[in-house]
Structure 1
Amino acid sequence: MNVYKLKDGTECFIRRATLRDAAEIVRYSNVVGGESDFLSYGNNEFSYTIEQERQVIKDYTEVKNRLFLVAVIDGSICGTLTFWGNNRKRLEHWGEFGVSVIKKYWGKGIGTTLLDTLIKWAEAGKIIKKVDLMVREDNYPAIALYKKMGFQIEGRIRRAMIIGGKYYDFLYMGRLVD
Structure 2
Amino acid sequence: MKINNQQFSVNGLTYTIRSAIKEDAKDLSEIRLQIDGETENLDREKGESYIDAQGFEHLIKTDTESEKNLFLVAVVHDRIVGFSRCEGNFLKRFAHKVEFGVGVLKDYWGFGIGKNLLKESMAWADSTGIKKITLNVLETNEKAINLYEKLGFETEGILKKDKLLSDGNYYNTIVMGRWLNDGAN
- 8 A contact 1:136–1:169 mirrored in 2: yes
What residue number does 1:134 align with?
136
What residue number does 1:150 align with?
152
Aligned match for 1:21, one of 9, 21, 24: 24
Aligned match for 1:163, one of 162, 165, 174: 165
What residue number does 1:2 align with?
6
The AA in structure 1 aligned to 2:6 is N
What residue number does 1:113 align with?
116
User: How many residues are treated as equivalent by the alignment?
Assistant: 176
- 8 A contact 1:33–1:46 mirrored in 2: no
Residue 64 of structure 1: SS of its match in structure 2? Answer: coil
Alpha-carbon separation, structure 1, partners of 2:49 and 2:77: 24
**Cα distance, 1:33 vs structure 2:** 0.8
Matched, 1:87 2:76: no
**Cα distance, 1:46 vs structure 2:** 4.8
Stretch moving more, 32-41 or 157-166: 157-166
- Gaps in structure 2 of 5+ consecutive residues: none
The AA in structure 1 aligned to 2:154 is Q
What residue number does 2:179 align with?
176
Alignment deviations for residues 14-68 of structure 1 (CA, whole Å, 9 cap, x no partner)? 0111111110000100111111011111223351121111111112112101101
State TM-score, norm by structure 2. 0.91
Alpha-carbon separation, structure 1, partners of 2:115 and 2:178: 15
State TM-score, norm by structure 1. 0.94
Alpha-carbon separation, structure 2, partners of 1:111 and 1:63: 23
Aligned match for 1:97, one of 87, 96, 100: 100
Alignment deviations for residues 106-126 of structure 1 (CA, whole Å, 9 cap, x no partner)? 111111111110111111112
What residue number does 1:49 align with?
52
- 8 A contact 1:29–1:46 mirrored in 2: no
The AA in structure 1 aligned to 2:95 is E
What residue number does 1:123 align with?
126
Matched, 1:38 2:47: no
The AA in structure 1 aligned to 2:9 is K
Alignment deviations for residues 56-88 of structure 1 (CA, whole Å, 9 cap, x no partner)? 111211210110100001111111111111111
